A and B are shown apart, each in its own frame.
Chain A
Amino acid sequence: MQKKVACSFPDEVLEHVFSFIQSDKDRNAVSMVCKSWYEIERWCRRKIFIGNCYAVSPRMVIRRFPKVRSIELKGKPHFADFNLVPDGWGGYVLPWIAEMAGAYPWLEEIRLKRMVVTDECLELIAKSFKNFKVLVLFSCEGFSTDGLAAIAASCMNLRELDLRDSDVDDLGGHWLSHFPETYTSLVSLNSSCLGSDEVSLSALERLVGRCTNLRTLRLNRAVPLDKIANILGRAPQLVDFGTGTYGADLQSDVFSSLAGAFSSCKELRSLSGFWDVVPAYLPAIYPVCSRLTSLNLSYVTIQSPDLVKLLRHCPSLQRLLVLDYIEDSGLEALSSSCKELQELRVFPSDPFGEEPNVSLTEQGLVSVCLACPKLQSVLYFCRRMSNVALVTIAQNCPNLTRFRLCIIEPRTADFLTLEPLDVGFGAIVEHCKDLRRLSLSGLLTDRVFEYIGRYAKKLEMLSVAFAGESDLGLHHVLSGCESLRKLEIRDCPFGDKALLANAAKLETMRSLWMSSCAVSFGACKLLGQKMPRLNVEVIDESGPPDSRPDSCPVDKLYIYRSVAGPRFDMPPFVWTMEEDSALQLNTIGNPIGSEWEHNMKGIQGLRAQMPFVLYLAELSNTSQW
């Protein structure tokens, strides 16, 4: 009998092969081939992404991947950006840092989004990771510039420090001087969110001057315009530059040195900042405009003609962020100047005004969609929309991957026909087959969700507000959108039925947020009891939900899958619905008590989304979360 020849590659060879596989999805696939590949892979995985910090515990991650060098974690739900998640909800990174300090002494990169980071965390990072290189704190909070000083002082190999949009307690610019004079490794610094008026300009200039590899520098508002030339002069190799304040009394010598500094930056491709703009200074950037691929003018409060003048100089522009001062006319001009445009974001200058203050309508967006063939990503705030405009957009931009439309007044109908905008958004999902992210607004019935469930097969994230009429809407989405990972809903009349009928779907998603909807407390309890792999969290600042009958709707609901079980760090206004809870379903006086049970076993029932074994294997692939 011949001996079967087993796969005879030594582990080291396989490991080397695996090192070429970078994407998480591919890595996960590799790990599922066979037991030995799983083992080899887990020892050589260097980079993990955890989309929900509560889906898995630090210890579990460390146990499976012992040699990680780079970690990315996300904390609070997206709606926290709009103040819908009360402070204190959670998202603390300290437990992770504490565990990793011991387990990953060679950790190089930490990227966090919407997490609470304290100075203690930063000090721990500075102390624990000798080869620390990258710290990205995206929309984080809880720390001060003292924590940054600790990082600056200790991390000799720091390459990247990016604080974008974080809420930092800025105690003044002295933290910059904690970078030792011998420190030269900085490649990227984004401190644009720092709010203090004080900044240590000399420390900044010296830092910039000695870090010859600096490619990204985004200053905060405290840095005055007349210092830009000096800073740029020390870093002509910059690729990405964010100004501080871009306004001052016009002085020709300041202007000319500014223009000279910009023109010596031959590598510059991205500009941002521009707070408090004085229009007369804008032409100073003309020398670099032809090469610019990204321009963030979303704090620039100048009128359309001046904006257009600037944009005409930017034929290579791929990404533009701008205020609605640009108006329809400006967008029309944009569409003829910037044929390479891939991403457009138009923000409202006066979102709370009752009357429009600018002439920006659906026409502006339509003109860009008609003329910019590469457009993929849209975020657009406006006050009116029509189905015909949306259909036009859909037909002319089938390559859209992200489409977020915010019609400012909730439930605004098609201004031409006064009908709902179902057909328009339906066209978007039908024609844009690669659509991954969609935000709805305007007047919408259950029909739009029918279209979404039918067509939006690649949709991963859906944001819904003030839309729909009944549970059928939610049911269409949960039962139809195969790729759905994140669903966030506010102020919609969705209740228990669709949620309970599609409970199993929730285990295939990262998370579901529902606030100001009609989901009852009893349904939450039922869901929590029946679905042990889901954390069902009820957020209610007005008091414990079981002080009211089970039929009462909950204020906010956040459901996410987790292999770590319920979390322990909840504030008093968050309750987890647990499986072993002794809470009885309060059926007294509850006319629809039996309906819940019926729903669970009912018509749709608990459809298994995939075979159980495969599902377990999926869950153990922590990194895809």
Chain B
Amino acid sequence: MEGSGVGGSESGSMSTVSREDNMVVSSEDSSCPDESDLELGLGLSLGGKTGGFKMHQLSKGGQFARILTAKDLPSVISAASPSSSSSSSSSSLSRANVTAGTKRTADSVAAANGSSQVVGWPPIRAYRMNSMVNQEKNMATEGFNSTMVNHKSETSMVEKTTAGIGKYQNNGNIKLRKSLFVKVNMDGIPIGRKVDLNAHESYEKLAKTLEDMFLKTTSSVNPVGSMTLELGVMKKITRPSKLLDGSSDFVLTYEDKEGDWMLVGDVPWEMFLSSVKRLRIMRTSEATGLAPQLQERNQRQRSKHN
């Protein structure tokens, strides 16, 4: 009997790249960090036959690669929200603040996560949601207006959310919101992500999220498109110092319903929501079709400041 085959040969000694001493130097104290500056930490994994690296780079705000959108220009740095912690999203840290050292209930999470509402409820499969959305879009004459109306009511619902719900109340505080997940791919990164556009109220928020997703943690994602799944393929780290103020290596673009690729940020947010199919973080050098638009904008912005 293969009784000994309890994965003895395959597990145990082979550890994954772990995040052991990877980390964040300044916050080794007893309370959840409530300060906004966390230091850079690089860590090597211990053990592991693959001897791989896993880098987590927690950068301070605003200095890493920025994704340009229309609203960014002229000022790249100030668009980042300075008050929130740079390394983690503000919502999760504020959640940590609220619940430091205590057990957390779903309610307080929902309360603290003002901007991040309940995802995936009711439990309708993404496939069905997309089909429904498409049918609605076909039926709606003024898709633009209706999304705008939804958006307004969502904002007011969020403000009503409170913490500390009584146990036997019909809890009207959970915010149900339709998600609008679209794919996001970034040039040079094999794994795409998905982002819920309805969880963001503006281009700035979206850009921030995308930066958090793609540009903060370096791509230690394994090249799963290839035949060997080796850990420890070290990717080039996007160093903040490569970037100049006011420009970036990347632009944010989207594909609209007609299949055209457009620069993100030109149209009102709600109109964007109703026509976007997917996003792509494109290298500025490749954005040739859009480059004229980009240059035009740059020139306009620069002339404003002169």
A residues contacting B by CB (< 8 A) are: 32, 35, 38, 57, 59-60, 64, 79, 81-84, 86-88, 92, 94-95, 98, 116, 118, 120, 139, 165, 167, 193, 275-276, 298-299, 301, 347-349, 351-352, 354, 381, 406, 408-413, 418-420, 439, 443, 445, 463, 465-466, 469, 490-493, 495, 516-518, 532-533, 540-544, 546-549, 551-553, 555, 562-573, 575-576, 578-583, 588-591, 613, 616-617, 619-620
Q: Check B111 for interface membership: any CB of A closer than 8 A.
A: no
Q: Which residues of A contact B124 (CB under 8 A)?
A: 82, 347-348, 351, 381
Contact B1 A493 (CB under 8 A): no
Contact B10 A298 (CB under 8 A): no
Contact B170 A351 (CB under 8 A): no
Contact B104 A275 (CB under 8 A): no
Contact A555 B174 (CB under 8 A): no
Contact B101 A591 (CB under 8 A): yes
Contact B46 A542 (CB under 8 A): no
> With A and B bound together, what is the CA distance between A98 and B226 in angstroms?
10
The 9 A-B pairs at the shortest CB distance, nearest first, are namely A589-B30, A565-B11, A82-B120, A542-B92, A563-B7, A491-B106, A543-B88, A411-B171, A547-B24
Contact B221 A571 (CB under 8 A): yes
Q: Which residues of A contact B14 (CB under 8 A)?
A: 565-566
> With A and B bound together, what is the CA distance between A582 and B23 in angstroms?
13
Among B19, B20, B33, B217, residue most surrounded by chain A Cβ atoms (within 10 Å): B19
Contact A517 B106 (CB under 8 A): yes
Q: Which of A60, A533, A578 has a CB less than 8 Å from the CB of B16?
A: A578
> With A and B bound together, what is the CA distance between A241 and B91 in angstroms?
48
Contact A81 B229 (CB under 8 A): no
Q: Classify chain B: how many residues form its interface, as a range.
A: 35 or more
Q: Which residue of A lies closest to B172 (CB)?
A: A409
Q: Which of B71-79, B192-200, B266-274, B287-295 makes up part of the contact surface?
A: B192-200
Q: Which residues of A contact B10 (CB under 8 A)?
A: 57, 59-60, 563-565
Known interface pairs A276-B135, A410-B121, A533-B7. Does A516 touch B18 (Cβ–Cβ under 8 Å)?
no
Among B10, B38, B87, residue most surrounded by chain A Cβ atoms (within 10 Å): B10
Q: Which of B62-70, B175-183, B236-244, B298-306 makes up part of the contact surface?
A: B175-183
Contact B105 A580 (CB under 8 A): no
Q: Which residues of B contact A555 (CB under 8 A)?
A: 92
| CB of A615, distance to nearest CB on chain B (Å) | 9
Contact B20 A583 (CB under 8 A): yes
> With A and B bound together, what is the CA distance between A116 and B132 in angstroms?
24
Known interface pairs A420-B168, A518-B103, A617-B3. Does A299 touch B131 (Cβ–Cβ under 8 Å)?
yes
Contact A578 B15 (CB under 8 A): yes
Q: Which residue of B lies closest to A56 (CB)?
A: B7
Contact sample, A vs B, 30 pairs, CB 8 Å cutoff:
A81-B123, A82-B124, A87-B192, A98-B227, A167-B127, A276-B135, A351-B124, A381-B124, A408-B122, A410-B174, A419-B168, A445-B167, A466-B106, A491-B110, A492-B106, A532-B12, A540-B92, A546-B19, A546-B22, A547-B38, A548-B96, A549-B30, A563-B5, A563-B11, A566-B11, A581-B20, A590-B30, A591-B101, A616-B6, A620-B2
List residues of B (117-155) whose CB comes within 8 Å of A's CBs: 118-128, 131-132, 135, 138, 153
Contact B170 A411 (CB under 8 A): yes
Q: Which residue of A lies closest to B174 (CB)?
A: A410
Q: Which residues of B contact A79 (CB under 8 A)?
A: 120
Q: Which residue of B lies closest to A562 (CB)?
A: B7
Q: Which residue of A lies closest to B85 (CB)?
A: A543
Known interface pairs A548-B32, A548-B96. Does A532 touch B11 (Cβ–Cβ under 8 Å)?
yes
Known interface pairs A83-B196, A495-B103, A544-B23. Does A409 touch B170 (Cβ–Cβ under 8 Å)?
yes
Q: Check B246 for interface membership: any CB of A closer than 8 A.
A: no
Q: Which residue of A lies closest to B43 (CB)?
A: A544
Q: Which residue of B lies closest to A84 (CB)?
A: B120
Contact A616 B121 (CB under 8 A): no
Contact B217 A443 (CB under 8 A): no
Contact A544 B174 (CB under 8 A): no
> With A and B bound together, what is the CA distance between A254 and B29 in angstroms?
74
> With A and B bound together, what is the CA distance between A352 and B213 in angstroms?
27
Q: Which residues of A contact B101 (CB under 8 A)?
A: 549, 551, 589, 591
Contact A88 B193 (CB under 8 A): yes
> With A and B bound together, what is the CA distance between A41 and B16 in angstroms?
34
Further pairs besides A84-B119, A553-B103, A582-B46: 10, Cβ < 8 Å: A60-B10, A86-B194, A87-B191, A348-B122, A348-B124, A466-B106, A492-B106, A553-B104, A566-B16, A575-B19
Contact A569 B224 (CB under 8 A): yes
Q: Which of A81, A445, A547, A572 has a CB less than 8 Å from the CB of B54?
A: A572
Q: Which residues of A contact B103 (CB under 8 A)?
A: 493, 495, 518, 553
Q: Which residues of B contact A32 (CB under 8 A)?
A: 1
B residues contacting A by CB (< 8 A) are: 1-7, 10-24, 27-33, 38, 46-47, 50, 54, 56, 58, 87-89, 91-93, 96, 99-101, 103-106, 109-110, 118-128, 131-132, 135, 138, 153, 167-172, 174, 176-179, 181, 183, 191-194, 196, 213, 217, 220-222, 224-225, 227, 229-231
Contact A35 B1 (CB under 8 A): yes
Q: Which residues of B contact A412 (CB under 8 A)?
A: 170
Q: Which residues of B contact A92 (CB under 8 A)?
A: 224, 229
> With A and B bound together, what is the CA distance between A20 and B181 in angstroms?
47
Q: Which residues of B contact A443 (CB under 8 A)?
A: 168, 170-171
Q: Which residue of B lies closest to A32 (CB)?
A: B1
| CB of B139, distance to nearest CB on chain A (Å) | 8
> With A and B bound together, what is the CA distance between A624 and B33 in angstroms?
45
Q: Which residues of A contact B11 (CB under 8 A)?
A: 532, 562-566
Q: Which residue of A lies closest to B213 (CB)?
A: A541
> With A and B bound together, what is the CA distance between A551 and B29 in angstroms?
12
> With A and B bound together, what is the CA distance between A581 and B18 in angstroms?
8
> With A and B bound together, what is the CA distance between A583 and B6 in angstroms?
24
Q: Which residue of A lies closest to B126 (CB)?
A: A83
Contact A565 B7 (CB under 8 A): yes
> With A and B bound together, what is the CA distance between A381 and B27 in angstroms?
45
Among A57, A490, A542, A576, residue most surrounded by chain B Cβ atoms (within 10 Å): A542
Among A412, A465, A544, residue most surrounded by chain B Cβ atoms (within 10 Å): A544
Q: Which of A549, A552, A579 has a CB less than 8 Å from the CB of B12?
A: A579
Contact B125 A120 (CB under 8 A): no
| CB of A194, distance to nearest CB on chain B (Å) | 12
Q: Which residues of A contact B110 (CB under 8 A)?
A: 491
Contact A516 B106 (CB under 8 A): yes
Q: Which residue of B lies closest to A42 (CB)?
A: B2
Q: Which residues of B contact A517 (CB under 8 A)?
A: 106
Q: Which residues of A contact B125 (CB under 8 A)?
A: 81-82, 139, 165
Q: Which of A419, A568, A578 has a CB less than 8 Å from the CB of B222?
A: A568
